[in-house]
Structure 1
Amino acid sequence: MLVVAGFADDKSIRTLLVAELRRALDNPFTVPDQLAPRAQLIEIVNCCSTIDDGLAVLADVLEFLRPGTKECTQFRDLVDSLPLRDVVSESEQERFRHQLEGFSPPGLRAAVRRAARFVVPTPHYADAAEAFSELADFNAAPGELPPVVAFAELIAAECEEPLATQLRKWSDGQAHRLRLDNALRALRSYGAPSVAGRLHLAIMIEADPVDPGRYEVSHWRQDDAAEWPPPRGETVLTTSAGLEGEVAKVISAAEEAWAETDADVVIEFVLPRGLLGLPVHTWSTERHLGAPQPLYLTYPTVIRSLERMSSRRSHRVWRRRWSSWTQEPSVERVYFCEHGDTRDHHRLDAILSDERWLMTVLTGTPSATPIPGRDEFFAALRAGLPIIVWHPTVSSEVVREVVTWMAGSDDLGNLPALTRKHRLDALRNRSSSPDGGIIGDLVVLWDDPNRMLPLGDRGGPGPGGGADEHHRAS
């Protein structure tokens, strides 16, 4: 049909067709130039057939390029006539249902949770047979394995031979048929789902690019310690006064989802530079119960840099310093900034370029906008330092004493948990606490580059700068 419509006759129209499809599908697929014209069209149709609603979008693009033509109508009729086939045939469902009936291993719920990770709330099944049958009715996100295929692969780790081999062979065949071999390999690289470990709840807050009085709150909740990144949750729009309440709702929903796990939990706030002054660790949970308490009483609470996470060109040095930190989390690798460091242009850049330094303590809260050549926070990000600490009110000399004291009582390798421990100790017996209560407002930026969030290309200028609001709004 595409040949009849003239798309094999002109290379420029095929180039335009691919460009429009990339935009409409938000998918950067490519078609080799060295293919013959008809082969290029076959490749275009093949690409669209592997993307959710891809052929329907192809019909829309053809209508845009050839409006009102007979070929467009015929092409859409062809797409509409394509039959919908079950991922699992009735015979296969019956075979595996019989073999899995009554099988309810410890990892069943974790396997269902990971396989159906875009299904909210996570379904509950009596045994693996019911899960296999019911998950066959769920769709997958674009580029993701169908939940039933992912479940077959995950539950195979709980099965004995020869059933485990049969399930893996079946998932191999399904992934190959659906052209999702890479997705299956990625699933296998994660290993079996984990029922314990450390879970993370990442909450991102951004100022609305159009209305400066409003904020966007998004979150990523990790339900499986072996899986990263987790799916992104709902994004809500709120005011400054409503931020704390929205965050409390996200945490409450997370705790309900984690009700049957005994894992440790860390709360991370992903913030742009302009919001680093938010006292997020003091925000309250359990507000709906009428007995709110600050986050740090229950969780290690840290912040992360949205600008750094969004700027790939800063990631190499960041990963390098983090790797060194995991091997030697020592107070000897901490640089304590002094006010004189920013008097000369790029002096602090030169100091932090020494790979000896892996963590820094700033002289105060970073300003909302960077000071070119004389900015402590920007210099630390640009040098790749993964841990940055400051206090909003006391001097860096006092913070130096507190950090050194903390390092003396324990290593800094798990600074978030260490900070929470000393905050609780100070509350239990403030009069004898050697930090004088200062640690209660200590801010810890703890940035692990191995746990990136899928933010995409945000169009920002990199660490320290603000994003182009016109670009983001559009």
Structure 2
Amino acid sequence: MSARQGRPPIGIAIRRALVDVLVVAGFADDKSIRTLMVAELRRALDNPFTVPDQLAPRAQLIEIVNGCSVLDNGLPTLADVLEFLRPGTKECTQFRGLVDSLPLRDVVPESEQERFRQQLEGFAPPGLRAAVRRAARHVFPAPAFPDAAEAFSGLADFNAAPGELPPVVAFAEVIAAECEEQLAANLRKWADGQAHRLRLEGALRELRSQVTPSRSGRLHLMIMISPDPVDADRYEISHWRQDDPGDWPPPRGETVVANTAELEDEVAKTISAAEEAWSESDAEAAIEFVLPRGLLDLPVHSWRTERELGGPQPLYMAYPTVIRSLERMSSRRSHRVWRRRWASWAQEPSVERVYFCEPGDTEDHQHLDAIFSDERWLMTVLTATPPANPIPGRDELFAALRAGLPVVVWHPTVSSEVVREVVTWLAGSDDLGNLPALTRKHRLDALRNRSSSPDGGIIGDLVVLWDDPSRMLPLADGGTGPVPGGGADEHDRAS
């Protein structure tokens, strides 16, 4: 086979990432499997390249990757061989993804790389790792760089998926938020030029809207529970764990399957794993449950944690918690009105902006739709727990979500009149803009002194759907699968 032509040389960052995947796959531990790999490559490529036996295992893998990188179709063939030797493993998927990310042409001319390298040399702000992860979010494991200069040069080795910004352009935009004013302006101006050249101005605008300074230093664990479409007693539990307050959206973690009886225990395990990952952080943490309509009645705030320690306690005692609507988050067509109402709520979270539903509101078709079309309403209190299956035109929750109301409250057992009194009491005692945090506070107050609780203990089971549209997950439109995209830093409030 001939040497590869017409493409830029493969940089050290991506070659290192390829070698790292082979090491994780076990090829550094077994000489015989490396020998077999070389034999398969010779056969597939019809090229007699050799790997010196005297080299250390990792050095041999470097030789293999380097040898394939200079041959036409060399690295794709190496990916095929890896699939042949380790079929169905996640390392195969990771390796193939890295190969697919190879640049078809130089994204950044060498002169521009050197110019920014000089300006960024030695610059290693706290958000560097998060900026690299955000820029190279399809690369796993994410490459590590000692400073922003090395990251800028290294990320130039990676290509992007169709319609997405090259990682080096995304990095320039994200890291600009960490830089002094003049350098930040230079990076953003360069990113503008690259986006224009690549006709990706829309992608840059979307990224730019997401890159805002973190306002809270709070870590979030997002837990999504989805029912199996066939087995009524089977659920998928997915999670997104934020390990850096300035990094959003976080990567999707492992998905586990559980039946109804196992849900609470599996969620507790997910939270325990998050705490282990956060063990060296001193940031606050919040947990958000992204639930489909049929599961909004799950009492997730009272599910028990720390089971393995022998003294489980309700979730709300340790964390702020939020319920989110999976249907609304996964349907982009509803996001404009939702964002508009949230912006109004952030400015004026008062009881005058709350609509208290009446039992007769659903008797007439689209009566509530007409009420909620008035942008005065930003929050609503439902008359009862929403039924699993909505009746469009005659459904309280459906109308509220469609109109973009970001805050919805109900109680599973008491009447709406009583809930109205409780919400009005809360609004009088503090800012409704902190309703979820107030809910948690008063739940704890009731545990400290039950006899003095002015709400009669009702707030303990009050359900607060608190949907902040600036903190989104990458969900497919109309579904639950991950897609490119995601959310921004948030207007942080959680219960």
The answer to whether the aligner puts 1:297 opposite 2:317 as a matched pair is yes
Report the AA paired with residue 171 of structure 2.
F
Number of corresponding residues: 382
1:455 to 475, 486, 489: 475
Shift of 1:231: 4.3
Structure 1 residues 331 and 157, CA, compared in 2 at 3 Å: closer, same or farther? closer
Report the AA paired with residue 293 of structure 2.
R
Alpha-carbon deviations, 1:361-413, whole Å to 9, x = none? 22221112224554332333344332111111222222222211111110101
Shift of 1:445: 0.9
Q: Where does 1:155-170 land on structure 2 (aligned, <5 Å)?
A: 155=175, 158=178
Alpha-carbon deviations, 1:31-75, whole Å to 9, x = none? xxxxxxxxxxxxxxxxxxxxxx9xx9xxxxxxxxxxxxxxxxxxx
For 1:202 and 1:287, the matched residues in 2 are separated by 20
In structure 2, the partner of 1:418 is: 438
Q: Where does 1:127-166 land on structure 2 (aligned, <5 Å)?
A: 127-129=147-149, 131-132=151-152, 135=155, 140-155=160-175, 158=178
Shift of 1:334: 2.0
In structure 1, the partner of 2:31 is: none
Gaps of 5+ in 2: 1-72, 77-99, 481-495
Structure 1 residues 437 and 125, CA, compared in 2 at 3 Å: closer, same or farther? farther
**Secondary structure of residue in 2 paired with 1:209:** coil
2:289 to 243, 257, 269: 269
Report the AA paired with residue 398 of structure 2.
F
In structure 2, the partner of 1:379 is: 399
For 2:348 and 2:230, the matched residues in 1 are separated by 44
For 1:176 and 1:440, the matched residues in 2 are separated by 53
2:347 to 318, 327, 337: 327
Structure 1 residues 158 and 412, CA, compared in 2 at 3 Å: closer, same or farther? closer
TM-score by length of 1: 0.66
In structure 2, the partner of 1:283 is: 303
Report the AA paired with residue 284 of structure 1.
R
Q: Where does 1:230-245 land on structure 2 (aligned, <5 Å)?
A: 230-245=250-265
Alpha-carbon deviations, 1:273-309, whole Å to 9, x = none? 2111111111233334444332212222121222333
In structure 1, the partner of 2:419 is: 399
Identity of aligned residues (%): 81
For 1:379 and 1:285, the matched residues in 2 are separated by 34
In structure 2, the partner of 1:433 is: 453
For 2:213 and 2:134, the matched residues in 1 are separated by 7
Alpha-carbon deviations, 1:78-122, whole Å to 9, x = none? xx9x99767678898788767655443344334334334445666
Q: Where does 1:28-39 land on structure 2 (aligned, <5 Å)?
A: none
Report the AA paired with residue 444 of structure 1.
V
Q: Alpha carbon RMSD of aligned pairs, Å?
A: 4.1
The answer to whether the aligner puts 1:308 opposite 2:341 as a matched pair is no
Structure 1 residues 88 and 258, CA, compared in 2 at 3 Å: closer, same or farther? farther
**8 Å contact 2:130–2:247 — kept in the other structure?**
no
Structure 1 residues 267 and 139, CA, compared in 2 at 3 Å: closer, same or farther? farther
Alpha-carbon deviations, 1:140-159, whole Å to 9, x = none? 55544444443345445555
Shift of 1:458: 2.3
Report the AA paired with residue 265 of structure 2.
G
The answer to whether the aligner puts 1:246 opposite 2:263 as a matched pair is no
For 1:92 and 1:448, the matched residues in 2 are separated by 39
Report the AA paired with residue 212 of structure 1.
A
In structure 2, the partner of 1:18 is: none
**8 Å contact 2:222–2:240 — kept in the other structure?**
yes
**Secondary structure of residue in 2 paired with 1:307:** helix
Report the AA paired with residue 415 of structure 2.
S
Alpha-carbon deviations, 1:439-473, whole Å to 9, x = none? 1211001123344444333279xxxxxxxxxxxxx
- Farther-moved stretch of structure 1 (298-307 vs 118-127): 118-127
Gaps of 5+ in 1: 1-52, 57-79, 461-474
Q: Where does 1:15-34 land on structure 2 (aligned, <5 Å)?
A: none
2:223 to 203, 218, 221: 203
**Secondary structure of residue in 2 paired with 1:335:** strand
Structure 1 residues 166 and 442, CA, compared in 2 at 3 Å: closer, same or farther? closer
In structure 2, the partner of 1:442 is: 462
In structure 2, the partner of 1:114 is: 134
Q: Where does 1:76-91 land on structure 2 (aligned, <5 Å)?
A: none
**8 Å contact 2:341–2:375 — kept in the other structure?**
yes
The answer to whether the aligner puts 1:212 opposite 2:232 as a matched pair is yes
**Secondary structure of residue in 1 paired with 2:261:** coil
TM-score by length of 2: 0.63
In structure 2, the partner of 1:363 is: 383
**8 Å contact 2:117–2:149 — kept in the other structure?**
yes
Structure 1 residues 213 and 450, CA, compared in 2 at 3 Å: closer, same or farther? same
